[in-house]
Amino acid sequence: MTEMLEKERKLLERYGLVPEDIVYTARFDVAEDYRFTDGMILLTAEKMAVLLYPPVSGRDYYFGGYRTNPEEAGWEPALQIYDLAEVESLGIIRELTGGVLFGRISGVETRLCRFTNSHMGEMERLTDNLEKVKKKETLTKEDIEGKQRIERCPKCGTIYPDQQRRICPKCMDRKSIFARLASYFLKFKGRLVVMALCFVGTAVLNLVYPYLSGTILYDKVLSRNTEFMEFLQIPGMKFGVLLLVVVVTMAVSKILMQLLGIIHGTITATIVPDVVARIKQEVFQSMGKLSISFYNGRQTGGLMTRVLDDAGEITSFFIDGVPYFFSNALTIIVTAVIMIRLNWQLAVIALILLPVLTFTSYKMMPRLWHMYGRRHRANRSLNSQMNDNITGARVVKAFGQEEQEMSRFHHRNDNVRKAELDVAKYEIRFYSVLYSLVENLTSFMVWGLGAILILNDSGLEFGVLITITGYVTQLQGPLDFMSRVFRWWTNSMNSAQRIFEIIDAQPEVAERLDPVRPEKIRGEIEMRHVTFGYEKHKPVLKDVSFHIEAGKVLGIVGRSGAGKSTLVNLISRLYDVQEGEIYIDGINVRDMGFRELRKNIAMVSQETYIFMGTAAENIAYARPDATRAEIIAAAKQASAHDFICKMPDGYDTVIGSSGRTLSGGEKQRISIARAILADPRILILDEATAAVDTETELAIQESLEKLVKGRTTLSIAHRLSTLRNADRLIVIDDGKITEQGTHQELADLKGTYFKLMELQTKALALRE
């Protein structure tokens, strides 16, 4: 129960209401004159009370109230109390930004309060809880708090993007993402070991070469060091021959480094395509399992960016980044040890700034994470517009909106440019100012200190100086890599997060773990008190109930937007109902396996889609194993055979994506042929003949009359003449079934159906 103020408690007690007896509280926030206010409706076992504060002028109203204590401000609430026995029912009238709560009290419709959409859930629960309280039922936690509560991250307060997963993108563990990504490479253990050996070998050779070209060449060979000759235990060898051996060894080390690089590149070329393909496959597979609602709120171009670009970002980092990280880290460590052994003073000068660089790179990551995310969103927006313009090219041309689309493209392309520049500026500023300065400064400091030590006869040999400066120069490569690897890692983890958001997403419409799998479906359909809406608190269907026997034809009639298509989408379980149940052959569709449900339901929608492929492949989409004879028979039934035969290659003619080379009627007939070939037990016709002419419509109707025999058919049509032979008709208006019966019964009723018939008759007369 909502916490009550002392003034409110005293007011209730004055009228005989004990606050501890209140079982449910719903707040509202709009007064009768449409000004913001504070108020609440209270339920006890015997009473319903409406408590309302007056709107206050001169004060700002925030989400949830005035942020002023009513007791301190001296505001007095008004109170209206009703006996629960007098309250027959409560109902909500939905408006654009909220709703109005009405109550039928002692037979009179009474307006109780207004509220914004933020309180819609509380009011809906109030209408349900009233009935339970009147029946003396105990309210559960779900009755009071609702089924769906908005969950937030306890650390930062961010709303979880997916309420089912409860993963905060701001606080998620990047290490766990990295470990999960690494699992994709486990199947290549052998090749990864070979790659690691190549890196180690390259690192060793990189360490050997400066030593050969510095200390050995200058201090041992060119200075004719006899101790070195004795150490090699090669008596009689001339220093000229030794020089040749050293030069050949240096050349061989370079050649070996090149060979190891070739081996590494070859292995990389075999691993990368496999891992990229696997990641893309998982993303695409996960997208295929997600519900239709997932795609309704996302653009195609943005999803393609995740599938194509992000997988490449991840794989390139793991192939070209992670292995080289260990190789370069090993090179830096071993080089530091060798330099310290050669001359600790020069080594300290060379390495003193390394911790500063590492710390700075680490501190850059949060800012880079944000910038890479912004760059991705800009690219996603650009790709989405490109997809829209390509798929909607006809509309753009037809309305002459090329200039406007160019302007939109320029704006989004400029956002991509700015995002790329921001990243480049940040990285270049860091690299040029910090890394280049440090690297060059370190090199000059080593040369300067080395020269001083040699001139002061400190014992430092010239070859040792050359060796250390060679190591300093060689360290520039690993240090450059280390400067990039943090940025690379950030970008890769950013891409991985987006990919795993799709892979881990749970479909709203999910199959049970142990679904019912009937061997045969007869096609009996029953809806019981179904309520559904695409948006929360905005139902499209409201308490819909009907029953249709197997093999019968049900016609569904109603104005545009009444909820007809939504109703048939629920039967095939493209969406799940929010309240009520749907049964097929007495089995709840939630309990039925997807395969058994959808192979027995075929839909011919007013929105047809033609895939890239031949005409035969499009017709056989639901049954890829269908014979050519079966495909042709289905096309003939759908009156599609004639126009297909006129195509250049007949049934083997390749139809462009979305069927752009076909007329609307031709696409519709191929869609009908596709449904005919599927041979379903339940057939859904959603304006199946909407895009064809009258002559073709008559031909299709004849074939559909043959098709529907023995099948349960749900037919939606604006042309009421096509539904005259339906076994039963239902009329949907504003999401509710207002009339049902046969054609003649509804015509005699002279209600909504009769009015629609009259309107169509007048329209046909005007057309003639």
Q: What is the mean pLDDT of residues 604-612?
A: 77
Instruction: Kindly write down the DSSP assignment for every residue of 257-276, as one continuous string.
Output: HHHHHHHHHHHHHHHHHHHH
Closest CA to 607 of 545, 554, 667: 667
Residue 262 has pLDDT above 80, yes or no: yes
* 51-60, 482-491, 615-624, range with greatest mean pLDDT: 615-624
Range with lowest mean pLDDT among 37-41, 89-93, 283-287: 283-287
For residue 86, give the DSSP letter: T
Q: How confident is the model at residue 101 (pLDDT cuts 50, 70, 90)?
A: very high
Residue 514 has pLDDT above 60, yes or no: yes
Residue 512 has pLDDT above 80, yes or no: yes
Share of the chain above pLDDT 90, in %: 3
Alpha-carbon distance of 112 to 121, in angstroms, equals 16
Coil, helix or strand at residue 111:
strand
The CA distances from residue 368 to 138, 237, 322, 356, 363, in Å, are 54, 59, 19, 18, 9
Range with lowest mean pLDDT among 8-17, 120-129, 514-523: 8-17
The CA distances from residue 605 to 434, 576, 587, 671, in Å, are 62, 19, 25, 8
Q: What is the mean pLDDT of residues 258-285?
A: 79
User: What is the architecture of the domain spanning 180-503?
Assistant: Up-down Bundle (1.20)
Range with lowest mean pLDDT among 17-31, 216-230, 398-412, 667-681: 216-230
Q: What is the mean pLDDT of residues 644-669?
A: 79
Q: What is the mean pLDDT of residues 413-431?
A: 79
Residue 68 has pLDDT above 80, yes or no: no
Alpha helix positions (H), 212-238: 226-232
The better pLDDT of the pair 550, 705 is held by 550
Q: What residue spans define the domains of the chain?
A: 6-145, 180-503, 609-679
> What pLDDT was estimated at residue 3?
57
Q: For 115, what's the count of Cα atoms within 13 Å in the CB-facing half-sphere?
A: 27
User: pLDDT by residue (tens digit) across 317-364?
Assistant: 776 777 677 777 777 777 778 778 777 787 777 777 677 776 776 676
* 18-22, 190-194, 727-731, range with greatest mean pLDDT: 727-731
Residue 273 has pLDDT above 80, yes or no: no
Coil, helix or strand at residue 43:
strand
Q: How confident is the model at residue 1 (pLDDT cuts 50, 70, 90)?
A: very low
Token output for 474 = 């060689």
Q: What is the mean pLDDT of residues 631-643?
A: 86
Sheet holding 78-83, edge to edge: 78-83, 47-52, 36-43, 24-30, 108-116, 98-105, 87-94
Q: How confident is the model at residue 294 (pLDDT cuts 50, 70, 90)?
A: low
- Put simply, whether the predicted model's pTM sits higher than 0.85 gets the answer no
> What pLDDT was estimated at residue 398?
67
Greatest pairwise CA separation for the chain in angstroms: 125
Residue 251 has pLDDT above 50, yes or no: yes
> What pLDDT was estimated at residue 582?
92
User: What is the architecture of the domain spanning 6-145?
Assistant: Roll (2.30)
Residue 762 has pLDDT above 80, yes or no: no
Alpha-carbon distance of 204 to 183, in angstroms, equals 29
Q: Are 603 and 676 in contact (CB under 8 A)?
A: no
The better pLDDT of the pair 658, 619 is held by 619
- Average predicted confidence (pLDDT) for the chain: 77
User: pLDDT by residue (tens digit) across 437-457?
Assistant: 666 677 777 777 777 877 777
Q: What is the mean pLDDT of residues 524-536?
A: 85
Fold classification of 609-679 is: Rossmann fold (3.40.50)
